[in-house]
């Protein structure tokens, strides 16, 4: 039997926690990560699970992910500690048959709870799994400083953020040709911000939370982490350019250039975001 700690899924998960910490995206307990396990991940690890902990109601319900298993970070836990003590900081949840409750089947020892943003992660997993034919498995929330800084100076719209980020680094139209969504400032944790994020994630695989952070998703850890990294790098370049130019940009990549980059890599840029 594979131990949970030694499994490829948990090792990939912990690597994101450690790398995000190294890049400064996870002050204190900031940020959270969830991974929807494959049937074979679950099969390999089922012997290490225990089923004696109670079912806990979630604030949201979505039957499409009933019976699924998620690796999750714990609420109040620090990303920097995940590698040293996976069972104390991370856990595996089984979702109940109605898609409205979970039970902890591994980890989250000593009374720890799943991330307070699990409602958001869960609804976003549901909507991205539906949008991608089940491919999306990773949902990642972090607090990178530059994308948050831009939420103080750009209009809080998908068009404003997508265009500003695409213009800031030539690879962006290829990495996220569909753009990024934006959710206005809300109190974090719970069903209200979860529903707003779900609506944005129906269209975008990355969503900015104003004055708070960023959510990214993907089929694997590299994609979700790489999307976070690319968006934050573009935001950093934008912030540097705006600062150096005292708010003025002398030139940017033209809209037609953005289209052509996307097309060069076989993607179609989300034209509706260029029309606004």
Residues binding ligand 13P (CB under 6 A): 29-32, 73, 75-76, 115-117, 141, 188
Segments in the chain forming alpha helices (H)? 8-22, 39-45, 86-89, 118-131, 145-150, 158-168, 172-175, 191-201, 221-244, 255-264, 272-275
**Alpha carbon distance 91, 27 (integer Å):** 20
Q: How far is the CB of 144 from ligand 13P (least distance, A)?
A: 12
Structural contact between residues 140 and 215, judged by C-beta atoms closer than 8 angstroms: yes
State the binding partner of 120 from Zn ion, ligand 13P, none, CB within 5 to 8 A by kind. Answer: none
Looking at the Cβ atoms of 74 and 173, the one nearer to ligand 13P is: 74
Q: Is 192 a catalytic residue?
A: no
Q: How far is the CB of 186 from ligand 13P (least distance, A)?
A: 11
Positions 175 through 234 that interact with Zn ion (CB under 5 A) = 213
Q: How far is the CB of 80 from ligand 13P (least distance, A)?
A: 13
**Alpha carbon distance 238, 152 (integer Å):** 13
Q: How far is the CB of 212 from Zn ion (least distance, A)?
A: 6
Closest CA to 30 of 196, 183, 141: 141
Looking at the Cβ atoms of 85 and 98, the one nearer to ligand 13P is: 85
State the binding partner of 191 from Zn ion, ligand 13P, none, CB within 5 to 8 A by kind. Answer: none
DSSP letter assigned to residue 267: -
The beta-carbon contacts of 235-242 under 8 Å, at least 24 apart in sequence, are 235/144, 235/146, 235/147, 235/149, 235/150, 235/165, 235/168, 236/146, 237/168, 237/169, 238/146, 238/150, 238/164, 238/165, 238/167, 238/168, 239/146, 239/149, 239/150, 241/168, 242/153
Looking at the Cβ atoms of 224 and 262, the one nearer to ligand 13P is: 224
DSSP letter assigned to residue 51: -
Q: How far is the CB of 188 from ligand 13P (least distance, A)?
A: 4
Q: How far is the CB of 142 from Zn ion (least distance, A)?
A: 8
Residue in 5, 27, 68, 117 annotated catalytic:
117
Q: In this structure, is the dihedral angle defined by the CA atoms of residues 241, 242, 248 and 251, taken in order, positive or negative? A: positive
Structural contact between residues 33 and 17, judged by C-beta atoms closer than 8 angstroms: yes
**Alpha carbon distance 260, 124 (integer Å):** 30
Residues catalogued as catalytic: 117
Binding region for Zn ion (CB under 5 A):
213
């Amino acid at each position: 039997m594979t131990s949970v700690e030694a499994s490829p899924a948990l090792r990939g998960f912990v690597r994101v926690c450690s790398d995000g910490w190294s890049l400064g995206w996870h002050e204190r307990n900031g940020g959270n990560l969830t991974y929807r396990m494959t049937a074979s991940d679950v099969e390999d690890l089922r012997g290490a699970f225990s089923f004696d902990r109670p079912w806990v109601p979630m604030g949201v319900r979505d039957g499409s992910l009933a019976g699924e298993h998620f690796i999750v970070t714990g609420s109040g836990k620090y990303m920097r500690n995940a590698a040293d003590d996976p069972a104390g900081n991370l856990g595996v949840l089984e979702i109940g048959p109605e898609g409205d409750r979970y039970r902890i089947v591994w980890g989250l020892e000593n009374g720890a709870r799943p991330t307070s943003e699990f409602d958001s992660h869960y609804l976003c997993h549901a909507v991205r799994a539906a949008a991608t034919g089940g491919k999306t498995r990773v949902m990642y929330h972090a607090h990178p400083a530059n994308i948050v800084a831009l939420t103080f100076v750009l209009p809080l719209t998908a068009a404003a953020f997508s265009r500003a980020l695409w213009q800031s680094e030539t690879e962006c139209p290829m990495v996220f040709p569909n753009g990024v969504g934006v959710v206005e400032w809300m109190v974090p944790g719970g069903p209200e911000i979860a529903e707003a994020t779900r609506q944005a994630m129906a269209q975008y695989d990355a969503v900015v939370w104003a004055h708070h952070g960023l959510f990214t998703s993907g089929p694997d850890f590299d994609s979700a982490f790489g999307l976070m990294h690319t968006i934050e790098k573009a935001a950093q370049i934008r912030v540097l350019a705006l600062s150096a130019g005292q708010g003025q940009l002398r030139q940017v990549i033209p809209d037609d250039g953005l289209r052509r980059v996307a097309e060069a890599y076989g993607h179609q840029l989300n034209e509706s975001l260029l029309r606004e």
